[in-house]
Amino acid sequence: LWQEPYIEANPAYIAQKNGIIDSSSIPEDIKSILQPMIERKMGVFKDPYSHQVEALEHFYHGRELFVATGTGSGKTECFMWPMISKLIREAKQSPDSWNHRGVRAMMMYPMNALVADQIGRLRRMIGSDDFYEMFTSVTGCRRRPQFGMYTGRTPYAGKSASSKDKALAQTLTDSLLSRDEKITGQLKAMGKYPAKEDLPRYVDGLLLGRHVTVDQDAEMITRFEMQENTPDILITNYSMLEYMLMRQEEQNIWEDTRDWLQSDKDNRLLFIIDEAHMYRGASGGEVALLIRRFIHKLGVGREKLQFILTSASIPQGQDEIVKEFIRDLTAIDDPDKFQIQIVTGSQEKIDYGVAMDVPADRIASFDLDKFHSDESLKGIEEFGRIIGLDPEGCDFTSEDDVYAWLYEKLPSVKPLLKIMENCRGKATSFDELSRTVFPGSDLETAKKAVSVLLSIAPKAKSRAGQVLFPSRLHMMFRGISGIYACANPDCSCKNHNGVLPFGKI
């Protein structure tokens, strides 16, 4: 009916202290743009992963990027930081170009769920008041970078109609505007609230049949907004992009983009392809041809586009094959004209240094239920004392204090380091993990000890929100189409003990 569970952890990557500011390869004007975003905690980190810094460096050397790092490794930042800094740089250095509408960044996703996730990130990053204040102070421009999601879910297909406008206005009122201030704040923090400068005013406009975009808006909600005011960042999927290239309604978007590209020799469109490994075989061929049609529609050469591709899946040691795939997909017909950089990141190594070896029976003696009770913080304190962690300096009534204390102290526990080493980047069965971590103990004690460590490790979190052991549990159950039992408790064919109140199963 079921298999034993498998535990898998995300690979851990090396962080680079002051990575962006100390880099000698990132242009100084880009540093001056990203520095305020670091200080104001706008999604740019003071100590980023080395591959995030590397992506910025290669991007500003004009290279085509393929970011191939594991799940949870911050791949999104590898295209988000270049994209945002590129837009701010243009607004700062070329205000005349900035005033010209055009798609400056195209983000193409294979499925709508990934599009929705990206919309949430953009809302939190460039939709905030803090970002707009920073943007205007750095650039002197009033119109902030604007994005729009153009998929089958974008309101709404067909021609604009009063009934549809009113229905959308009612939906926005019921689901967003009628919420209290606390709920609204939570929705904004989750990226679930449209990044409109004044949403009530926008809804009033819909009731009058107007789809109004103002310079302070970060987001465009409807297709008609984007058809009238081409967004700087267009988020779509390949199916919708194909329709947009053919239909008359969207031609204004491509005309604006063509004019913007031709208005300045330095203007290049950034084309981001997420989950690039999904475009293999026949579907990959279709998308490769679609990208060529896209370039043809804009009437420009391939050199006017720059690509960033991401994937968590890449064949090891086959860089030339990967580069050939990138060239085929992104319309590079002359390899000598374009430099491709594959960014894989540097994984962090486990340091056993001064780690203490705690026996399985001591860890297993802890009552696991205490982690899940109302007294869980006291339970963590008790666990710390049992295995020999110094509780001094921690306020065990504060959740943040306790989690930060665990983040600092747990890396000194050797069995946990063994778990992390054996699970990073690969799924390991629970039994195998227990035997590996505690080879000298009986299996049941080892399994209990590993259960305790797996229960407490996810609670270890730094004050900056970094999790010590981000992991997943794979649990595999067989679906049973039908299971039957004889209703006679005295069934002569019964083959189980007498505790169960029925016959043969």
Contact 7, 428 (CB under 8 A): yes
For residues 460, 464, 465, 471, the Cα torsion angle rounded to the nearest 10 degrees is -60
Find, among 449, 471, 445, the residue nearest to 458 by Cα: 471
Q: Considering only CA atoms, which of 107, 100, 110 is closest in space to residue 122?
A: 107
The reported pLDDT for the residue numbered 501 is: 86
Q: Which helix (H) or strand (E) holds 429?
A: strand 427-429
Closest-CA residue to 187 (of 124, 130, 247): 124
By DSSP bridging, strand 6-9 and strand 219-220 are: unpaired
Residue 328, Cα to own-chain centre: how many angstroms?
26
pLDDT along the chain (505 residues), means of 10: 90 90 96 95 91 97 94 89 97 96 95 82 93 95 96 87 94 94 93 96 95 96 96 95 95 98 96 92 94 97 97 85 95 94 90 92 92 85 91 88 93 95 92 95 95 92 83 89 87 83 87
Q: How many helices (H) and strands (E) does the chain have?
A: 21, 11
Q: What is the pLDDT of residue 337?
A: 92
C-alpha distances in Å from residue 270, one per residue of 124, 148, 257, 280: 21, 15, 12, 22
**Neighbouring residues of 89: CB distance < 8 A, sequence distance ≥ 6:** 29, 30, 33
327: part of which helix (H) or strand (E)?
helix 319-329
Asked if 368 contacts 452 with a C-beta cutoff of 8 angstroms, the reply is yes
The kind and range of the H/E element at 226 are: helix 223-228
Strands (E), 238-333: 269-273, 305-310
What is the pTM for the complete model shown? Answer: 0.84
Q: What DSSP string describes 108-169?
A: EESSHHHHHHHHHHHHHHHSSHHHHHHHHHHH--SSPP-EEE-STTSS-SSS--HHHHHHHH
C-alpha distance from residue 258 to each of 72, 104, 249 (Å): 36, 10, 16
Count of C-beta atoms within a 10 Å radius of residue 252: 15
Q: How far is CA 243 from CA 227, 246, 293, 408, in A?
A: 14, 5, 12, 53
Give the rounded distance of the alpha carbon of 218 from its chain centre: 20
